[in-house]
Amino acid sequence: MPINPLLVRARELWEDLARVPVSFPPVGGVSVAVSPESGLCPVGWIGVVTLGGSAIATAPSKDAALVVRDELAALPVAAFADAEAVREVLSVARVLGPAALSYVSTAGFRPVEHGALTGEQLPGSHPDLLSLERLASHEDAAEAALQEIGSPAFVFREHGQVVAAAGYEIWPSRTAHISVLTAPEARGRGLARLTASAAVAAALAAGLLPQWRARPPASRRVAAALGFEELGTQLSIDITQDIEGAPGSTSSGTGL
């Protein structure tokens, strides 16, 4: 069976973010590595990324890695995307995710035409983007992280105010991490698709791999409409209070 080139590139990205040598095993397996500075999760946490039916996991200490290796082995890889299933085998303090990881190629991309709407480009530091973030909830603004984009922001205005914006942050392995934010009163009208389409088109033109990471179903539907393929998930787990020798425990190490 031909290997999905999107899957190959996505795996290269997350193996790079692990910041230690680790590779995705054959389908159904999980590889666990010790990486205190892992980019799969917040510092001191467990990070688990599934792609194409297999997974890699990073832990902040050898003790934590042993626990993760032993306990996650009891679960099928598909269950790593279920926070409650993970809670059944690990003593979990906090969880972030799971978030779906989606990618798109030039061939698979389905751009959206602006029609009568006129878009605009702004620098990522533009104060109008801060105004948009203030209109959104703190959670939505933090999820979009528009202040971290390195690309221009592709925006739409109504009555002079930016009501939708998208851009991308450049990640390792020539990846464009897409950020999208729409004002609450402007949602449901396709503006997220329009702005995201412009950002994705720019990323593809620059030879980058667009990545869409999302938890809300509405965001995942926008990605699917643009041709993104869901290839896996990302889950971050804080079990550091329960693992001797891990950061945040009573033994040596730094806290969160």
For residue 245, is pLDDT > 80? no
For residue 60, is pLDDT > 90? yes
Per-residue pLDDT reduced to its tens digit, 92-112: 888 888 999 999 999 999 999
**Backbone Cα Rg of the chain:** 19
Type of residue numbered 241:
Q
Check the CA dihedral 86-45-36-103 and report its sign.
positive
In whole angstroms, give the CA distance from residue 117 to residue 164. Answer: 12
For residue 91, is pLDDT > 50? yes
CA atoms within 13 A on the CB side of 10: 31
Q: Dig out the tokens for 236 from the structure.
A: 């971050």
For residue 115, is pLDDT > 70? no
- SS3 (DSSP) at 19: coil
Cis bond upstream, residue 217 (ω within 30): no
Per-residue pLDDT reduced to its tens digit, 168-196: 999 999 999 999 999 988 888 889 999 99
Which of 31-40, 161-170, 208-217, 245-254 bottoms out in mean pLDDT, i.e. has the lowest? 245-254
Over residues 5-11, the mean pLDDT reads 96
For residue 234, is pLDDT > 80? yes
* pLDDT for residue 256: 18
Per-residue pLDDT reduced to its tens digit, 123-137: 888 898 989 989 888
* pLDDT for residue 33: 96
* pLDDT for residue 241: 52
* pLDDT for residue 117: 63
- Domains in the chain: ranges and CATH: 5-100+233-242 (no CATH), 120-227 (3.40.630.30)
pTM above 0.85, yes or no: yes
Question: Mean pLDDT in the chain?
Answer: 88
Burial of 137 (0-12, 13-18, 19+ CB in 10 A): exposed
Which of 10-14, 48-52, 75-79 bottoms out in mean pLDDT, i.e. has the lowest? 75-79
In whole angstroms, give the CA distance from residue 247 to residue 35. Answer: 12
Higher pLDDT, 44 or 1: 44
In whole angstroms, give the CA distance from residue 206 to residue 199. Answer: 11
Which of 56-65, 140-149, 243-252 bottoms out in mean pLDDT, i.e. has the lowest? 243-252
Cβ pair 165, 178 in contact under 8 A:
no
In whole angstroms, give the CA distance from residue 112 to residue 91. Answer: 45
* pLDDT for residue 1: 54
